[in-house]
Homo-oligomer: A and B are copies of this chain.
Amino acid sequence: MAVDLAPPDPGSLFPVPGVELGVAMAGVRKANRRDLLLMRLGVESMVAGVFTRNRFCAAPVIIAKRNLASQRGIRALVINTGNANAGTGEDGVARATLVCEGVARALGCAAEQVLPFSTGVIMEPLPAERIVAGLAGAVADLRADNWAAAAEAIMTTDTVPKAASRRVCLAGGEVTVTGIAKGAGMIRPDMATMLGFIATDARVARGALESLVRDTADKSFNCISVDGDTSTNDAFVLVASGASGVVAQSKADLAVLEQAITEVAVLLAQAIVRDGEGATKFITIRIEGGRSIEESRRVAYAIAHSPLVKTAFFASDPNLGRILAAIGNAGIADLDVSRLQLYLDSVLVAANGGRHPDYREEQGAEALAKPEFTVRAMLNRGQAAATVWTCDLSFEYVKINAEYRT
Q: Which residues of A contact B (CB under 8 A)?
A: 53-57, 84, 86-92, 121-123, 185-186, 189-190, 192, 227-232, 305-308, 311-312, 314-315, 317, 319-322, 324-330, 332-333, 335, 337-338, 350, 352-355, 393-395, 397-399, 401-406
Contacts beyond the supplied A122-B324, A186-B308: 4 A-B pairs with Cβ under 8 Å: A56-B329, A232-B328, A395-B398, A398-B398
Nearest CB in chain B: distance from A377 CB, A: 12
In the complex the two chains form, is B311's CB within 8 Å of A398's CB?
yes
Q: What are 25 A-B contacts defined by CB distance under 8 Å? A: A55-B329, A55-B332, A56-B353, A90-B352, A90-B353, A91-B354, A122-B319, A123-B321, A123-B350, A123-B355, A185-B325, A189-B312, A189-B322, A227-B307, A228-B306, A228-B307, A229-B325, A229-B326, A232-B325, A307-B397, A314-B398, A317-B404, A317-B406, A397-B398, A398-B398
Contact call B122/A337, Cβ cutoff below 8 A: no
Closest B-chain residue to A318, C-beta based? Answer: B405
Residue contact A190 to B56, C-beta cutoff 8 Å: no
The complex places the Cα of A86 from the Cα of B315 at a distance, in Å, of 22
Residues from chain B with a CB closer than 8 A to the CB of A88 are 353-355
Most buried by B among A308, A319, A393, A399: A308
A320, B123: Cβ atoms closer than 8 Å: yes
Of B315, B330, B406, which contacts A406 at CB under 8 A?
A: B315
Docked Cα-Cα span, A333 to B53, in Å, equals: 8
Looking at the assembled complex, report how far the CB atom of A23 sits from the nearest CB atom of chain B, in whole angstroms.
Answer: 26
Measured CA separation A77–B318 after assembly (Å): 32
* Nearest 10 pairs of A and B residues by beta carbon: A122-B321, A56-B328, A89-B354, A315-B402, A89-B353, A311-B401, A55-B328, A189-B308, A54-B328, A55-B335
- List of B residues within 8 angstroms of A92 by Cβ: 354
- Contact residues in B for A322 (Cβ distance below 8 Å): 122, 189-190
Q: What is the CA–CA distance of A311 and B226 in the complex, to the nearest angstrom?
A: 15
Name the one of B87, B228, B231, B335 contacting A353, with C-beta atoms under 8 angstroms.
Answer: B87
Considering the chains assembled together, what is the distance between the CA atoms of A91 and B354 in angstroms?
Answer: 9
Residues of B within 8 A of A332 (CB): 55
A391 to chain B, nearest CB (A): 13
Contact A89 B352, beta carbon cutoff 8 Å: yes
